[in-house]
Amino acid sequence: MLRFFDLIDLSKSFILKTCYIERAVYGILGFYGVYKVIYYTLLDPLRKIPGPWLNRLSEISLIRANVNGDFTNYLLGLHEKYGHIVRVGPNKVSDARTKDFKKVLSTSRFKKSANYDGFANVHQNLFSTRNDEFNRMRKRQVGPALRKSGLGSIDSSIEEVCVDAFVKKLNSIVDAGNGSAEFNFFKYYLNVAADVIGLLTFSENFHAIENGDHPIIEWVDESMKNFGLSKSFPILKVAMAFIPSLSVNESKLSKFCLEAIDKRRQLIKSGKIDTDHVDILQMYITAVNTSNKKPLTDEELVAEMVTMVIVGVISTSATMTWLTTFYLLYPKVYNRVVDEIRTTFPDKNKKITAKEAHEKLPYFTATIYEGLRFRGSVGGSLNRDVPNGGVELSGYFIPQDTIVSMFIPGCHADTEVWENPKSYNPDRFLGPNGDELKKELVSFSTGVRACVGRNLAYMEIFMIMSNLLRNFDISAPKDWEYNTNILDPTRNNEPLLPRDITNAVRTPANPERDSRVVITRCEH
């Protein structure tokens, strides 16, 4: 009986101790919560930055938007409500002012933030690196291949893909459809971009246009999604190293690049390829790192090749996808573009070069610039760490070590620069301020970290789109959910656009449904 009461006493003592511990934990949490409220209300150096109150405590809203693919629209909504500068996290602000964008990106004082580590695969690369000297070294190594002069040396090869193979494929599906055919332009642009990047990077045509697909496109798509998730959850990069199934397509892409590297080395060793041969792989293989005076390792080569393939395939195709969508929804714009192209280049047997299109087709060129502004492929932000001493942006002092996210779509909606930014209006680039407005585009970033691939992107867009519209008429399918009669009241009652998502790159949310077009052969 005595033991029984002893057990009761022990149980009572345990319960009381547990209650005391629980109360202590709740007390500590409550005290911490009160401290945080007082800190973020009275002491926080970013307390004057407008934004949702929750964003002072956590980035959960930003992370949720990123995971859902709603990153771009979430930030656009915040900036429309709160202004140029918005608080998006305890130590992060989003900036959508073009003037601030140029101020931050024009100097190397603002270092890339830690989230760029999520874009590194097996090694830091030209895009992911946060080291300025490494960035300069890589640009010196690969720059010649991506300059206009370097691209000019393989212009005929790019023409064969962007014009010959593409037009041939479209003619074949039109013939099969008895003069008319429907095709998914998002998918076809991916195929073209894949074949181009294959030639430029490996001197290898993937024949994605001819065959209607190539595995590398799926690998690129999955890799982009992984990179986007790693930005919000850095621990995923660690998990992927231990759980291969999480990054199987990324691994396939890396393996493909490594095999291409081994194959090229064997060709060089056997003397079957000219060491002066110009493609990106060759330039990297023959390059020497200034940091250690040694050639690039396999890991370094794979990192650069993977990055080049991913960026080269997805970004240009997304830009052309949105441009085609605008042509379908704005018939006056489309008719004016077609008339300009076919009047200027009446001979169907003569291919239009990118240089000719840019120099002789001003309105067509304006539609491309406006497409890049209005809904370019980059839907995210460029994160930078504020240096010692802090910085003043749009009237707010931002202390050092704060992350400033320079939001590209927000800059393209900056009312200080763009009149009626929610309207798709190519004429803005033809007016008296047209040349100045072109300088305000930040689609390819600006300053010391401007995109090295912008010349290639422009070459593809000008060449593909001009020859497509020279040879074919396009129209929306009868069952397309969007047309000129379905208007968007949030955009001055202009045509409603297909919903978009952002996985590092901004694309239609449902390309299988929304990126379809009917094509017929132009007979005049």
Q: Spell out the SS3 assignment of 306-317.
A: HHHHHHHHHHHH
pLDDT at residue 19 in the model: 63
Per-residue pLDDT tens over the stretch 31-50: 555 555 665 666 689 999 99
Domain ranges of the chain: 1-43, 44-521
DSSP 498: P
Distances in Å between the Cα of 128 and the Cα atoms of 319, 512, 521 are: 22, 31, 44
Per-residue pLDDT tens over the stretch 445-478: 887 778 888 888 999 999 999 999 999 999 999 9
- Are 192 and 209 in contact by the 8 Å Cβ rule? The answer is yes
pLDDT at residue 243 in the model: 62
Does 44-521 carry CATH code 3.40.50.150? no
507: region left, alpha or beta (phi > 0 left; psi from -120 to 50 alpha): beta
Per-residue pLDDT tens over the stretch 353-369: 999 999 999 999 999 99
Q: Which two tokens stand for residue 396?
A: 């707010």
Per-residue pLDDT tens over the stretch 199-224: 989 999 999 999 999 999 998 888 88
DSSP string for residues in 377-396 = SB-SEEEEE--TT-EEETTE
pTM of structure: 0.89
Nearest to 283 by CA among 156, 140, 450: 140
User: Where are the extended beta strands (E) located within 309-437?
Assistant: 381-385, 391-393, 396-398, 403-407
Q: Judging by DSSP bridges, how do beta strands 92-95 and 403-407 pair with one another? A: parallel
CA 405 to CA 93: how far, in whole Å? 6
119 CB-contact burial (10 Å; exposed 0-12 / middle 13-18 / buried 19+) = buried
- Are 439 and 417 in contact by the 8 Å Cβ rule? The answer is no
Q: What residues of the chain score a pLDDT lower than 70?
A: 1-43, 121-122, 149-150, 152-154, 231-232, 234-249, 275-277, 524
pLDDT at residue 117 in the model: 80
pLDDT at residue 22 in the model: 64
SS3 call for 405: strand
pLDDT at residue 10 in the model: 55
CA 350 to CA 354: how far, in whole Å? 13
SS3 call for 227: helix
Q: Residue 190, Cβ neighbours under 10 Å: how many?
A: 29
pLDDT at residue 504 in the model: 82
- Are 507 and 189 in contact by the 8 Å Cβ rule? The answer is no
CA 28 to CA 8: how far, in whole Å? 30
257 has binding-site annotation: no
**Percent above pLDDT 90 for the chain:** 61
pLDDT at residue 15 in the model: 63
Residue at token pair 């830091």: 124
CA 187 to CA 191: how far, in whole Å? 6
SS3 call for 179: coil
DSSP string for residues in 3-27 = HHHHHHHHHHHHHHHHHHHHHHHHH
- Are 282 and 201 in contact by the 8 Å Cβ rule? The answer is no
Residue at token pair 């069952």: 479
Q: Return mean pLDDT, the chain.
A: 88
- Are 157 and 145 in contact by the 8 Å Cβ rule? The answer is no
